[in-house]
Every structure is written in C-alpha cells, then in structure tokens.
Amino acid sequence: MSGADIHLPAAGPQNALGEPVRAALPQIPDGIRSLPDYARHAMAHIEASAWAHIESGADQGLTLAHNRTAFDRLQLCPESLCDLTQASTRQTLLAQVLRWPVMLAPVAYHRLAHPEGELATARAAMAMQTGFIVSTLSSYSLEETMVAAQTATQEVGRSAPMWFQLYKQTERSHCLRLVRRAEDAGYQAIVWTVDAGIKRSGFALPPGVVAANLRDFPPQPLHVSDLMRDSILFGSALADNAPCWDDLQWLRQQTRLPLIIKGVLSARSARAMVEMGADALIVSNHGGRVLDGTVSPVDALPAIRSAVGPETPLLLDGGVRYGTDVFKALALGANAVLIGRPQLYSLAVAGMLGTAHMLHVLRTEVELAMAQMGCARLADIQDTLLFKAAHR
Ligand code: FNR
C-alpha cells in the first residue's frame, strides 16, 4: 500500500483536553452538586477555541478574578429562630413576577455549547420559572427563541419574563428594527448593553453558528484600508459608533417597554441614566471580558444603590455561582442577579435538562441560604446580615 492510499479518519473538533468533543449527555452525570461542577464537566463537551472564548477575561483576568473574590470576602452573620412557614423567594420587578431573584444573563451564541442553543435554554428557563434575557447575538433568532419559550410554557404551565438584549448597531434604523421585532415577538423589556461597544475579540465563529438576528443586515467587513489609516481606535468607525448619551435619549423615545441598561459600575452614570428614563440598571462588568482591573459589581453596588435610591430596580452579574452569592448581592442592594457562563456549561453537559438542573441546584441553594440566614422573604435580606467589624 502506498502512502497515498492511507485514509485517516477526518479529525473532528477537539476539546481543550485534546480529545474529540463529547456530545451532550442524556442525563445529569454523577457528582454534579454545584454550578462550578458544571464548569469542570463542560470543558470536555465544548470545542477548544469556543471554550477559551467562553472562559476568557480581558488582559490578565484581574476583573474576572475580582468578580469571585469580592463575593468570597463577604462574610455572613445569620439571625436565629426565624419562622419559615410562609417563606418565599417571589417578588415583583417592573410589574413582572420573578419566582426567584435569578435570571439568565444575555450570552451570545448558545449553539457553541449545544446544537439546540437558545431554544433549549428557553425551555429550561420556563420550566424552572427563571427569566431569560436573549442576546442580540443569539444563534437562533429572537422569534424562534420566543416560540420555544411559549411552547414550553403551554406544555409545563409555567412561565417567566423574556427580555431582549440590544447591542447598538451602526444604523439607528437597524436598532429600531430589532426593538420592533422584540416588541412584536412579545418580549417584556429591552436590555441595552452599554459596556461592550468597544471590545477586543479574536474569536472566529465555527461553521453553522451565526448571529441569527442580524442575518438581514449588511455585514461590516474590515478592510485593509481600515488598518492602513493613521487612526488606531480614535477616528475609526468603531469609536465613532460607540454607545453614547444621545443614543439613550433616542432609544428611550422609541419604545414603551421597560428600558434596562446593562454594564453600569459608576454611581454618577447610574443616577444620570435613571434621570434620563432608564427603568432599571444592571450593575455589571460584562463578566470581566471587556476592561481589565475594574471594580467588581458587588463592590460597586452599595454606592449605586445610594445614588439611585430605593425604588430603582438594580440587577447585578459577574461571578455569581452559589446561593450565598445571590444572598450577598441582595443584602447589598440588588433586587435580582443574573448568571452568565453557567448557562453554557450546563447546556454543553446535558442540553435543556442540564440547564434546568443547574437552575434547580442554584434555586435550592438560594432557599437554603435564606433559611440558614433566618430570612423568610427577600425583603428580610439586609446588609446588617453581612459581618462587619463594627458589629462585633
Ligand atoms: C457574555 N455577555 C454578554 N452580555 C451581553 O449583554 N450580550 C451578549 O451577547 C453577551 N455575550 C456573552 C458571551 C459570553 C461567552 C459570555 C461569557 C458573556 C456578558 C454576560 O451577559 C454577563 O454579563 C456575564 O457573563 C456575567 O458574568 P458570569 O456569570 O459569566 O461570571
């Protein structure tokens, strides 16, 4: 046999362990008891470059690390002998019912984790009565994702808020088209992300994964002439199109849906956003993916709460992995929190079942934390339950 006759099997996609990517399992694997367990299992089920993209933090990963250590540094000081007979995690936010104070953050391209992508996530979210914020960069369209959520709601008799996350597009008419499509499809709020208009990314999408909502918009290719110009960032279309206050004024006038701004860390900006008509804010550093060295959301939260007052709903994300993290965020003034990466981990490990189970695990931990801290209701969660030297 000559060398030319040897046919090696085509090498399929490999995971970060250098093995073929494992398909999602039909059941929950043994040994998954927490969200970090999902992260450990997920590596084998995701193609290596997609894994690196999902896990990545900007530059040295300082922000990414702060997001966790800020939670770990806070210590809890439980109250005793609480009556839990009427205990509940329910609340109303922007006139919408949240069965528990956790939602799924907007995360691009769920098909990187599982072929059913956002459709599976939407089904899991509805089954577990968990709000879902669908990204502009979803890999199934916002309409398809809403149909999956509505079908699941009919089947299981449970529902939760569905919100649409908007990234500013080069043309305002394109932004408006996305907003109208979200309204027509039945989304209940617009979440405008303002902290990632300028962001480095070298990740190339694998074949078959696309930004389904943007299919009809003209592509914005990078030309050699762009690289040859004197300007690097300043003076480029990217900088010129970065979201700004004028856009907020414009967007506020375009929709009657609640407008929530995501990606706020400064108390001053937060107050100005509320004065300009934002209905709620998401305190976030984009999961440590944009600017390295930022304050963690949980450290920024108290000043933002004092700046906007008690009435403005505040959500928070970045590093939330345990029920006690949810508790700590609420104690410092959040009304609810979002989780990002764990959605993709659980989807990769066991599809819709995995994400539903991941939410079940977290919800159990939230109830445990409340019970053990002596809080029967979300309103009982106060910063006096965080240990401070002055309370000794
Ligand atoms: C994101 N995030 C994000 N945010 C957003 O507003 N629109 C988007 O499309 C995306 N896409 C996205 C992709 C990936 C792979 C990640 C990890 C994150 C940020 C996300 O909404 C959220 O702020 C963080 O993920 C929260 O941090 P944790 O929970 O991942 O630590």
DSSP letter at 20 equals B
Which among 286, 357, 360, 391 is annotated as catalytic?
286
Strand boundaries in the chain, DSSP class E: 91-93, 96-98, 102-104, 131-134, 162-166, 190-193, 259-264, 280-283, 314-317, 336-339
Q: What is the mean pLDDT of residues 204-214?
A: 96
Q: Say how far apart CA 250 and CA 381 lie, in whole Å.
A: 37
Burial of 218 (0-12, 13-18, 19+ CB in 10 A): exposed
Does the structure show a pLDDT above 90 at 202? Answer: no
Beta-bridged to residue 102, according to DSSP, are 337
Tell me, yes or no, whether 82 lies in a domain.
Answer: yes
Q: Atom 12 (ligand 1): residue with closest C-alpha?
A: 107
107 lines ligand 1 (CB under 6 A): yes
Does the structure show a pLDDT above 50 at 391? Answer: no
Q: What is the mean pLDDT of residues 295-320?
A: 98
Q: Which domain holds residue 119?
A: 32-199+208-214+242-390
Tell me, yes or no, whether 3 lies in a domain.
Answer: no
Q: Is 41 a catalytic residue?
A: no
pLDDT at residue 3, rounded to an integer: 47
Q: What is the mean pLDDT of residues 65-86?
A: 97
Q: Atom 11 (ligand 1): residue with closest C-alpha?
A: 107
Q: What is the mean pLDDT of residues 150-174?
A: 97
pLDDT at residue 5, rounded to an integer: 60
Q: Atom 3 (ligand 1): residue with closest C-alpha?
A: 107
pLDDT band of 122, cuts 50, 70, 90: very high
Q: Say how far apart CA 23 and CA 33 lie, in whole Å.
A: 21
Listed range (57-66, 369-378, 380-389) with the worst mean pLDDT:
380-389
pLDDT at residue 226, rounded to an integer: 62
pLDDT at residue 278, rounded to an integer: 98
**C-alpha closest to that of 137 among 210, 58, 195:** 210
223 or 25: which leads in pLDDT:
25
Q: Atom 15 (ligand 1): residue with closest C-alpha?
A: 54
Strands 259-264 and 190-193: what pairing? parallel
DSSP letter at 191 equals E
pLDDT band of 392, cuts 50, 70, 90: very low
Tell me, yes or no, whether 1 lies in a domain.
Answer: no
- Residue found under tokens 């008799």: 157
**C-alpha closest to that of 205 among 55, 58, 56, 54:** 54
With the most atoms of ligand 1 within 8 angstroms of its CB, the residue from 198, 289, 320, 355 to mutate is 289
Tell me, yes or no, whether 4 lies in a domain.
Answer: no
Beta-bridged to residue 260, according to DSSP, are 191, 280
Residue 290 sits in a domain whose CATH number is: 3.20.20.70
Q: Say how far apart CA 243 and CA 260 lie, in whole Å.
A: 14
Instruction: Give pLDDT tens digits for 328-360.
Output: 999 999 999 999 999 999 999 999 999 999 999
Output the six-digit token pair for 226.
Answer: 């762009």
**C-alpha closest to that of 87 among 309, 388, 373:** 373
Q: State how far Cα 25 lies from the chain centre.
A: 24
**Whether the Cβ atoms of residue 110 and residue 138 lie closer than 8 Å to each other:** yes
- Look at the chain and report how many structural domains it folds into: 1
Q: What is the mean pLDDT of residues 24-41?
A: 97
The sign one gets for the Cα dihedral 353, 356, 359, 361 is: negative
317 lines ligand 1 (CB under 6 A): yes
Tell me, yes or no, whether 235 lies in a domain.
Answer: no
pLDDT at residue 200, rounded to an integer: 80
Tell me, yes or no, whether 6 lies in a domain.
Answer: no
Mean pLDDT for all residues in the chain: 94
339 lines ligand 1 (CB under 6 A): yes
Tell me, yes or no, whether 224 lies in a domain.
Answer: no
Tell me, yes or no, whether 325 lies in a domain.
Answer: yes
Q: Say how far apart CA 325 and CA 288 lie, in whole Å.
A: 17
pLDDT at residue 197, rounded to an integer: 87
pLDDT band of 201, cuts 50, 70, 90: confident
Q: Say how far apart CA 349 and CA 120 lie, in whole Å.
A: 12
What percent of the chain has a predicted confidence (pLDDT) above 90? 88
Does the structure show a pLDDT above 80 at 229? Answer: no
11 or 387: which leads in pLDDT:
387
Instruction: Give pLDDT tens digits for 5-26.
Output: 666 555 799 999 999 999 999 9
165 lines ligand 1 (CB under 6 A): yes
φ, ψ at 342 (rounded to 5°): -55, -25
Q: How remote is the CA of residue 158 from the centroid of ligand 1, in Å?
A: 26
243 lines ligand 1 (CB under 6 A): no
50 lines ligand 1 (CB under 6 A): no
Does the structure show a pLDDT above 50 at 1? Answer: no
pLDDT band of 388, cuts 50, 70, 90: confident
